[in-house]
Each structure stands twice: as structure tokens, then as C-alpha cells.
Amino acid sequence: MPIHIVGTGSFVPKNKITNNSFVEKSFFDKEGVSYPNSNKEIIDKFQAITGITERRYADKEHTTSDLATFASLEAIKDAKIDKESIDYIIVAHNFGEVEYGTNQYIALPSVATMVKHKLEIVNENCVAYDLIFGCPGWIEGIIQAKSFIKSKMAKRCLVIGADTLSRTIDHSDRDSMIFADGAGAAIVEETDENGGILSHKTITKAGKEALYLFCERSYDPNNKEKIKHIKMNGRKVYEFAISNIPSALKICLEESGKKIDDVKKIFLHQANEKLDEAVLKYFYKQFDKKIPENIMPISVDVFGNSSVATIPTLYDVVLKTNFKDHKVSKGDVILFASVGAGMNINAITYQL
């Protein structure tokens, strides 16, 4: 029987942080040396490369599990289900609960347990667990949910991607401008309708690639704290992504039995607008095809990079709003794909 996403929800914080918010920051390279460029030049170059003009940060009183719960309530409502009928709650994230002003990564209790607690689900057979898989975590959660359902271990799963990355960044690192907060959720179950999850592909490369995203102390030489922050080798991540995502997408699409001309939308992880455009270019080049117009929605410019939350959030807003004139309809074939810490890459061919 086909396995479908039957309900979606998202939570985008209201706090808009524009690029101008970083003008007064002091940026340093990894050696602790100030850049010769002015902050305005740094920010202008950053915007030209990433496409980001603003990002969203969570309210001070909200944690990752709060954002995840808000998105889940929307997904449950959208699916028109009883929350007590959920068999698994899978929460993909990177840093657990991070309270405002602390930078302490809390993994106990798990974020998934806190979501179940905040949803007030009393069914003890509803299993809640966290998934740490970098930015591709939500897609991997969907793949795991499909496996649970197909093996008859579950009938219905809630899969969430949520992060509050604004609380893990080093404000003296110019790459910190990329990161944002948010949450997206989906209800996955078996239906008697055609389509659903047609194929999927996941790879992990953990040689030198394992160190492309990491945690390290502040680049500010005056900061003597031992606290560590999210860091990345942006150039290496970019090169890895454009070298590996297109082939993974091709394999995934071919295994579905669908053709490249069948694809109506491609939802890529919203890390960097130029990166996504390059991935799209090389993906279609494999088929000797021109890129169709309006094939790839982009939200990183206004939402920033909220890691595991980017794809489920973007999918939800495209489903429910006229987001930049992007629409999907019943029967459409779409692709999901992501890349992130691991380095992990995954993709899904999905038919609405």
C-alpha cells in the first residue's frame, strides 16, 4: 500500500533579523584576525552568495521542543487525526533544547519526549525518539517512518524537523549570519491512494568530509570562554554538495520509475541560494535537459537556514499558500533532497 504524507505543519518565528542587524558585529577569521573589509562589504558579499536578506529567530521563551510542538499541532490538525493514534514521534534536530542565553545543549529528556509531553499524548505505545543526522534529518525521519509502516511496526508517524540554531552560533563568525530557527512537521501513514513515497536514497561519507561541519570555540581572540559553537568549512560543504547531490537525486528518481519530465517541483535543503541553483544545474545536466521554469521554491532568502526545518517548512508553505507563485497539485511528482553534517545526503521521490 502507498505511504503518504497526509498532513503538514510549520512554525516560522516572527522575529525577523535583517542583514543590517550584523553591521555592528566584530568578525574574525579562524585565526582570530579581523577582516580587512568593512562589515558592509562582508554583508553585501554574504547576501550575493547566499541570497539571504533576513532570517528568523525564536522568541526568548521558546525552545526547540516548543517550535516542534507548534508545527506538530498544525500537522495533526491538517491531517484530521486523533493525536493518540500516533505510533512514533521522530524529531530531527542538531543541538537538543537550548534555552535562551545559555548555549547549553540539552539532550535529556529528548526533544521528542518533550514534544509528546507538550502535546499531552497519554498513549504509552506512542514511541518518541530523536534523530541526529544533520540537515538531512527530517528526510531521513520520513524514510524511517516509511520503513516502520511498511514493516507493520506502525500505522502512523509524526516526523518533525526543528532547531534553534541562533543559540549555537559564534557571533564573531561571519558564517553565523546563515543560521536561523524554525520547525516543520508531517504526519505519515499508509493510504489506499496511488503515489506516496516512490523511492529514496541515502549516503554517508565520513572520511575528511566528517569534519566539514563541526563545533569549535569562538573566533573572537578576546573571548576566553570554552563554550563551543556550530562551525563549517563553507567552501568544502559547497563543493561536496554540488558534487554529490545531483547523482543521488538521479539514482533516487530512476529507482522510482519516473522520468525527469515527470518532476513538477524540487525541494532542496535551504542552505544557500547559489548552492541550490548549482545543484539544480548539475542535476538536469545529467539528463541533457534544460531547467524548467519555476521548478525550485526558495525560502532561504527570507527564512534563513534552519537546518532540518527548511524542507518541511518550505513544503508546508507551498502546500498552503501562494508562496512565490509555487503550487503543487494531487498527482504531482516532486523530489526532496538534503545535505549536511556527516556528511550525509538523502533524497525522496514523492507523488502527491
Q: DSSP assignment of 238-264, as one string?
A: HHHHHHHHHHHHHHHHHHHT--GGGEE
Within its chain, how far is the Cα of 239 from the centroid?
A: 19
If you average pLDDT over residues 255-277, what whole number do you get?
96
Q: Strand order in 127-131's β-sheet?
A: 3-11, 181-190, 156-164, 88-92, 127-131
Which is it for strands 54-57 and 88-92: parallel, antiparallel or unpaired? unpaired
Number of Cβ within 10 Å of residue 281's Cβ equals 12
pLDDT given for residue 76 in this prediction = 98
Confidence label for 107 from pLDDT (cuts 50, 70 and 90): confident
CB 199 within 8 A of CB 3: no
Question: How confident is the prediction for the chain on average, in pLDDT?
Answer: 95
Share of the chain above pLDDT 70, in %: 100
pLDDT of residue 1: 82
The continuous run of DSSP H or E covering 140 comes out as: helix 137-150
User: Domain segments of the chain: what residues?
Assistant: 3-193, 197-351
pTM over 0.75: yes
CA dist 261 → 99, 253, 288, 307, 319 (Å)? 46, 11, 12, 29, 21
Q: Do domains 3-193 and 197-351 have the same CATH topology?
A: yes
Give long-range contacts, CB 8 A cutoff, 24+ apart: 288-294.
289/260, 289/261, 294/325, 294/326
Specify the pLDDT at position 281: 96
Is it the case that residue 261 has pLDDT exceeding 90? yes
Q: Give the percent of the chain with pLDDT over 90.
A: 87
- pLDDT tens-digit map of 286-343: 999 999 999 999 999 999 999 999 999 999 999 999 899 999 999 999 999 999 999 9
Rg (C-alpha) for the chain, rounded Å, is 20
Name the burial class of residue 86, with classes exposed (0-12), middle (13-18) and buried (19+) by CB atoms within 10 angstroms of its CB: buried
Q: What is the pLDDT of residue 288?
A: 95
Q: CA quadruple 105, 9, 147, 351: dihedral positive or negative?
A: negative
pLDDT digits (tens, 9 = 90+) for 161-194: 999 999 999 999 999 999 999 999 999 999 999 9
The second-level CATH assignment, the architecture, of 197-351 is 3-Layer(aba) Sandwich (3.40)
What is the predicted pLDDT for the residue at 103? Answer: 77
Cell match 576566553: residue? 224
Alpha-carbon distances, residue 99 vs 63, 86, 129, 268 (angstroms) = 6, 28, 20, 29
Q: What is the CATH number of domain 3-193?
A: 3.40.47.10
Instruction: For residue 204, name the pLDDT band (cuts at 50, 70, 90).
Output: very high
Tens-digit pLDDT profile for residues 109-134: 999 999 999 999 999 999 999 999 99
Residue 104: the pLDDT is 81
| Contacts of residue 311, Cβ cutoff 8 Å, sequence gap at least 6 | 138, 139, 161, 184, 267, 268, 269, 270, 336, 338
303 closest CA partner among 182, 137, 166: 182
Q: Looking at the annotation, which residues are catalytic?
A: 135, 269, 305
* Confidence check: pLDDT of 145 > 90: yes
